[in-house]
Amino acid sequence: MKISVITICHNSETFIAQTIQSVLSQTHPDIEYILVDGNSHDRTPEIIRSFGSGITKWVSEPDEGLYDALNKGIGMASGDVIGFLHSDDFFTHEKVLEKVAEVFAHDNPDSVYGDIQYVDQADISKILTNRRYGNCRLWKFKLGWSPPHPTFYAKREFYKKYGAFDTSFDIAADYDCILRFLVKNRLSAAYIPEVMVRMRVGGVSNRTMKNVRKKWREDYRAMKKNGFGNLFTLFLKTMRPVAHFIKSPKYLFE
């Protein structure tokens, strides 16, 4: 099984090398690694170029935002399965994609996901929060649950059939995509009960109150677009991570 991993980046010279290395160190034998750079003006293109043939395909050009760049990556992908790794995130160990492939081969689900871990930007050995998600159930979505997009792998055929990211969203197109796949079209999802990805927290945060309110509006629009959920669902989705924010308040407000 060929797995396409897509990383999008822009002026990401600080962490992009570790992200790339975490993909290239994976033991799964058939990985297509795609990088979409948004015309960076720092050393990002130079760093990408330094990995040579380890990167299957990459492009550096202007884009129209995060989800436009992700859609470019999907358009470049030829794998059986597509997943995403952000430019400041990294896999927890070298067998993550091997495990993903095993679950697809053994259980034949439409998609796979696992857990994530937030770590300090300056000290990645410092774990700020653990997010464990459990098995996918339709009723959980009504309570504001959704699997973490950085660990979400879906068969490429479904991006062709049901569409990729809706670029009319600025923040919530990943949530919209998951609702479209797992709720509206009832694709199956297998849960891997282990931390697959570590995400850095810190630095310049975009979690201002203005953006938090915008995310609420976009999450609600994604629910209505997919014919699922209501204001109570939105409230529960908003409250779900509060315990994690209390443990690490700088994740919400920097």
The reported pLDDT for the residue numbered 224 is 97
pLDDT given at position 242: 65
Tell me which amino acid residue 119 is. Answer: V
Tell me if 33 sits within 8 A of 54, measured CB to CB. Answer: yes
Q: What are phi and psi of 153, to 5 degrees?
A: -120, 125
pLDDT at 187: 98
**3-state class (DSSP) for residue 34:** strand
Per-residue pLDDT, 204: 40
Distance (Å, rounded) from C-alpha 222 to C-alpha 216?
10
Residues of the chain with pLDDT under 70: 202-208, 241-254
- What domain range includes position 31? 3-251
pLDDT of res. 30: 98
Q: What is the pLDDT of residue 202?
A: 62
Residue 246: the pLDDT is 60
Share of the chain above pLDDT 70, in %: 92
Check which CATH number belongs to the domain holding 210 and give it: 3.90.550.10
SS3 58: strand
Token reading at 2:
């060929």
**How many other C-beta atoms can be found within 10 angstroms of the C-beta atom of residue 236?**
14
pLDDT at position 210, please? Answer: 78
pLDDT at res. 166? 98
pLDDT of residue 207: 59
Query: Residue 222: which H helix or E strand, with range?
Result: helix 209-225
Indicate the number of domains in the chain: 1
pLDDT in the model for residue 114: 98
What's the one-letter identity of residue 18? Q
Instruction: State how far the Cα of 89 lies from the Cα of 14, in Å rounded to an integer.
Output: 12
pTM of the predicted model as reported, rounded to 2 decimal places: 0.92
Q: Degrees (nearest 5) of the Cα angle 92, 99, 5?
A: 70
Among positive and negative, which fits the CA dihedral 233, 229, 166, 111? positive
Burial class (CB in 10 A: 0-12, 13-18, 19+), 74: buried
Cβ burial of 33 (10 Å; 0-12, 13-18, 19+) is buried
Give the integer Cα–Cα distance in Å for 123 and 57. 31
Cβ–Cβ contacts within 10 Å for residue 215, how many?
18
pLDDT at 203: 47
Strand, coil or helix: 161: helix
